[in-house]
Structure 1
Amino acid sequence: MTKQTRGGIPPPKTKNRLITREEAERFLPRQYADRMDSYFPKGGVTCGEEHLQYVLGVAYPILREYRDVVVGQSGPSMYTLLGDFAIGDRDLDHSGPGHVHFVGLPGTGKSLLGKVPEKVVGASFKRIQGTIDLLPADIIGTNILQVNEKRERYFKFIHGPIFSEKLLFDEISRVSARSLSSVLQVMSEGAVTAYGVTHPNNPHIIATSNPDESAGVQKMPDALEDRFMFEVHAEPFTEEQFAELQVRAEAFDKRKFEPVADYSYVIKARLFFGESVHVSDEITDFIGALAVALNRIDHGGLLARLRLRLQFSDDESIVRSDRMILSGRGILHLRGAARSLAAMRYRNYVTLDDVRKVLREVIRHRTHCTSHALNAHDMVRGELIEKFGRSGKTAMEGYLLREIIDIAWNSVEISGR
């Protein structure tokens, strides 16, 4: 075994020819012909023409529209894109997308991100407004009594908003656990069972929430939380972005979108990347070892230095012992997210850097620190203000997550099979 290093694993050999930037530009839709992706490598790519058709012809235009419509939020817009083109939950005859949960204060553009694909790739779009009295039938649908021409009575199933290609579930954390259970099956199995009948259905769900401290917000059930590939936090606006927001908002009602493809093309791209983007044995082993390190992070002395900073004794937990940071589903989400990022960077192989870049958003909602640890923010107040611009529980949560990732990552080694 050798200690994991940056760069680490060499890329696999490829038989694909080199495609230059000039050649690749022909895959751009007409309206983006003069707006080439800045991430396209200067030296060209060897990922293949079909790969380029999906990235430059569909994925990149979606991302451009996100960023043309929504001010700031470059991270959230990127993770929305990654989730759409990643394979998240897998089941028999089912490969689902990577569902995304946005957390942020009102007015940060969370809902807008859910609406853009409807305009750009013609995805059927539905919205659910989360309220405390929302019922399961409001989500999946209900049977309505009908009478035919012979005056015979029968029930007709009326589909709920869950039956869509893109679903925006706004303010999901205000909904009761009972009602939220109605989306569990569709998120993991790509189907909805209602009144004894199972209906195939595979939406990409974008959920939004206000922060935990907000009035009326309640904790999301663990089973639902684990089905989201990413939890992404809204980014605060800068002075320049506030000014830009005012200008763009005045033209919202006049904004025209030119569709670049049918949504079925997005699904084909998702499946293509899931099969064509290579994950090496070394990275597969590394991700497995990382999952074990994360799940045992509060045992074996890995957090010794952090305990010293927080003045915690050995028997005071930092991470809740009754939870796993990476479950079996979580590790597949991490693998799928890294694959999607590699694809968007014009590679048909995953690097350690891909895994590291998506790790925080994959485990953020899966990492449950103890209330004692979150309340210890005064012990590192200076660091919190320096890194996050504020102190308190929310900043402490971000601080602990960063420390846990760094410690777990650096404890894992790369092995060769």
Structure 2
Amino acid sequence: MAELFVAGPVAGALEAAATAVGRLDAALADTPLRPAWAVWSGLDAACRHAGADGHKVDPYRLAAHLHGLPLRTDPAAPPIDRGREITGLNHAVGLRGWLAAPDAGQAALRDAALDSLRASGRDRPALVAAALGMLEWLAGQGSRPAIRAAVPLYLRERGTTIHLLAAVTGGDALRAGAADPDGFTVRFLEAVLREAADGRDLLLTMEREWREARNRVDRRAGGRSNSRLPAAVDLLAASPLLSVSALADALGCSVEGASRMLDALVGLEVAAEVTGRAGRGARRLYGLKRLLPIRAETTAARRRARGGPRGRPRRVLTPPFAELATDPAEVAVRPDADPVEPARLAPVSFDFDALDRLVAAADERTRGVRRLLDRIARGEKPFPPGDGADGPAPDEP
């Protein structure tokens, strides 16, 4: 029982980290937004891990890169800077694969890291055991991505969490040197605290956006029980980036009807077409307005609306994120005040099997990008004849 004792600084950090992890895990227990949260928090985690490895990656650019969208670049930037950014994006894709879609080799190495955590966890609190296990694994020159991917599995296995919190890895502790076990443990616990708090903030932001979108659509529907717009909002909130055909499949309607619903939601300023329309037949992806900055990272140009004035459109310069601006009075809170959690919305019924397919497709897209990068690194053709697995997604009308 002596092993249960922890030093004073470690005990304080352990209490704060365990509380933050528990609050995040409880918040995820009864929300249908958990699949979408898992995707976007996983992208944020991949960017943080890439930063710890020396690569600066923007989550919106990573999302656009994973979906095969052309990225906007600064023409004045030297080629070495552009090459450095592509290297960072590809590194983040690989890290995302460890968390969401590991191959056989990665899975085997992750399981070995998990065994190392189990060996360090006898008669110790789970979070402390995870910190010491990570330190021992790294001392043996173990893989950093493998141990970061193993930590969420270990916490769930020990019963610390109910859900698999892929964003909670303590990976930020790897930014500093591990001078001594207690110092590293405190840094690990502080990193877990930040990751769990950021994950909960992301979930609250998604729920707040969902509530505002539902309220706006409910006012537009005027109480009509046969309107499918609330169900479309639910699916947009609970999924990764959504295409027209995916919405039609989930709601059991025609592609044309799904396209009209998405256009209506864009007109209500509830949803945004994050890809930019390049013309008929181009793949169009939609999300709630929180994801609008993705469009600013791509080079796709928006199509001129029918009936508009001819000629070159007038150039209007707007600051970044201007489309997401809100009233400062709405976001002003007291310092150190906990956000007030709104009551949970009851989702409109739709096909959750279709939602599972959307999440699986997002993971498969990660695998496809990694296979493409591996072929390029070996000097092979990016798309071998007869291999359509990694090619672009089917066109949308």
TM-score of the two chains, using structure 1 as the length reference: 0.24
Higher strand share: 1
Higher helix share: 2
